[in-house]
Amino acid sequence: MRFIHLKNFPWRPAILSCALVCLAIAPARAVAQADKAPAATDPAAAGKDKSAPKISDDKAGLPPLPAEAHAAQTIQLDGKPLHYTVTVGALPTRDGDGKVAGEVVVTAFTVEGANRPVTFAFNGGPGAASVYLNFGAIGPKRVDAGNEGASPSDPANLVDNPGTWLDFTDLVFIDPIGTGFSRSTVDEATTKKLFYSTAPDIEYLSRIVYDWLVKNDRLSSRKYLVGESYGGFRGPRITHYLQSQLGVAMNGVVLVSPYLNPTIENDGDLSPLPWMMTLPSITAAHFEREKKLTPEAMADVIAYTQGEYATTLLKGRADEAATQKMIAHVTELTGLDPAFVKFSGGRIETGAYLREVHREEGKLGSVYDSNVTSYDPFPFAPEQRANDPILASIVAPLTTAMVDFVTRTVGWKVDARYNALSYDVGRHWDRDSAELRQGSVPDLREAVAADPKLRVLIVHGWNDLSCPFMGSVLTVNQMPLMGDPSRVSVREFPGGHMFYTRPDSRLALRKDVMDMYSKH
């Protein structure tokens, strides 16, 4: 997980679209420049410099972040030892006047060898640290979490990850300001201006990528980005910014359950798009429960959604016979109560569905995978009041595992709180900016058009309702064909937003990514 779906914030009364790890997901409805040296700001010195950004009172007494720490480790991968070094440290980011305004903590896994690729990883939210991709998907170690039956009190044991990408690329996990141990060193108003809005977020994180490459003499390496959820929103924009503004070109981009089009589900009273987005994922979850989920079955669902379902919704009351036929077919596809589908008009709203699908068991489905459930502590409330089932179970084990790994295993003895998911970032994020509403598809198109060798792999879980796979299918189908059609492709796997928590899906993702990397 890693990310917070912007629509899952309590301040937004709708739910649908994408990004991950909801910051404040209570109800499912409620859904710059940096130096090369990883130095920390000296609050006392900054206080004496009248030109420096003001450091807020609550930050003035913070102990400095430790110097960079390293540890040699080994895992067994495909029956062979893989030796690597993990490095944890901070890179500073600066304001427009060159003053240090924040410290971005980076966790890098590197293997000895010439000309190895390097992959930069971001999670989403905004407000989520990169631990979800690190310990859930692609790092050399993993924690079992995020699946049906998981508990926040389960042991947070790290084990070797057979789905890691480390044997074919070095991995650099970046925690944006306010997440993980990364932090702002300026006052709240300046923090919001410099870090908690779309354009500044893209600019300073791009510079962190650039500075890590320069600091580690890796500008000549093949370079890749992977972003999940809102990190998938960041991916195309960081790629394009690096390419066009900082002069660093990516070879490939992997977008995991990306939040590409923030406004795609608007106007549900008139547009069929919101309902086209959700129907296939709701159907996939039902097919999975019935042991009928296959790519072939889903191909038929996608064809129906793009064809007869869309046209029937557009006709509305002008064709009552088609509407009744559609309602009957949606009932069959989803396995939901016929009365529920009838009174929904065949338009299955996500929040209502997540309460309805497991209501007989007294449980809620997760927006990230509706087949992952928890008991509903407020079953008679008019709207969902409980936290999302996956978020409720995954933050504790990932936080425990990461803090123990960084402080004990690597020896980076930091005295600070770790934010796997920051509610503070979510509260302060500028969610009304035109830059956010624009989405990242224009940057995706421009980056692909500018570089005929750039490859983009978009991956989703079938069951995800926070960032439904259908959104990426529709997006890519509308892109112009720029050379080889396989340069931008969409793949789906069993599971949800964090489909990689399932071992088979994690291994299938590894195989597809290895194939993409091999083409360079």
pLDDT of 230 reads 97
Yes or no: say if 508 and 515 are a contact pair by the CB < 8 Å rule.
Answer: no
In sequence order, the β-bridge partners of residue 156 are none
pLDDT of 46 reads 31
Look up residue 335 and give its two tokens: 């396995």
Yes or no: say if 428 and 187 are a contact pair by the CB < 8 Å rule.
Answer: no
Yes or no: say if 411 and 54 are a contact pair by the CB < 8 Å rule.
Answer: no
Contacts with 343 (C-beta within 8 Å, 6 or more apart), sequence order = none
Read off the amino acid at residue 514.
Answer: M
Q: Hey, what long-range contacts does 515-519 have (CB within 8 A, 24 or more apart)?
A: 516/252, 516/254, 516/455, 516/457, 517/117, 517/168, 517/169, 517/222, 517/224, 517/252, 519/455
Unique residue bearing structure tokens 């080994």: 74
How far, in Å, CA of 301 to CA of 292, rounded? 12
Q: Tell me the residue ranges of DSSP E strands in 16-151.
A: 69-77, 80-94, 100-110, 118-122, 141-142
How far, in Å, CA of 86 to CA of 257, rounded? 27
How far, in Å, CA of 497 to CA of 21, rounded? 9
pLDDT of 400 reads 96
Domain locations in the chain as residue ranges:
6-263+395-517, 273-386
Look up residue 330 and give its two tokens: 């949606």
How far, in Å, CA of 123 to CA of 176, rounded? 9
Instruction: Determine how β-strand 373-375 pairs with β-strand 455-461.
Output: unpaired
What kind of architecture, by CATH, is found in domain 6-263+395-517?
3-Layer(aba) Sandwich (3.40)
Backbone angle region of 246, left / alpha / beta, with phi > 0 → left and psi within -120 to 50 → alpha? alpha
CB atoms within 10 A of CB 464: 29
Whole-angstrom CA distances from 88 to 105, 126, 173 are 7, 22, 10
pLDDT of 59 reads 56
Summarised one tens digit per residue, pLDDT across range 112-148 is 998 899 999 999 999 999 999 999 999 999 999 889 9
Look up residue 132 and give its two tokens: 């979800």
Read off the amino acid at residue 15.
Answer: I
Yes or no: say if 217 and 87 are a contact pair by the CB < 8 Å rule.
Answer: no
pLDDT of 18 reads 43
Contacts with 298 (C-beta within 8 Å, 6 or more apart), sequence order = 280, 283, 284, 287, 462, 492
Helix or strand or coil: residue 416? coil
Report yes or no on whether pTM surpasses 0.75. yes
List for the chain the helix, strand, coil content (%; round to 5). 40, 15, 45
Unique residue bearing structure tokens 């589908």: 341
Helix or strand or coil: residue 491? strand
Helix or strand or coil: residue 464? coil
pLDDT of 60 reads 54
Unique residue bearing structure tokens 């959820």: 229
Whole-angstrom CA distances from 177 to 6, 149, 196, 239 are 17, 32, 8, 19
CB atoms within 10 A of CB 189: 12
Residues of the chain with pLDDT under 70: 1-61
Summarised one tens digit per residue, pLDDT across range 296-339 is 999 999 999 999 999 999 999 999 999 999 999 999 999 999 99
pLDDT of 321 reads 97
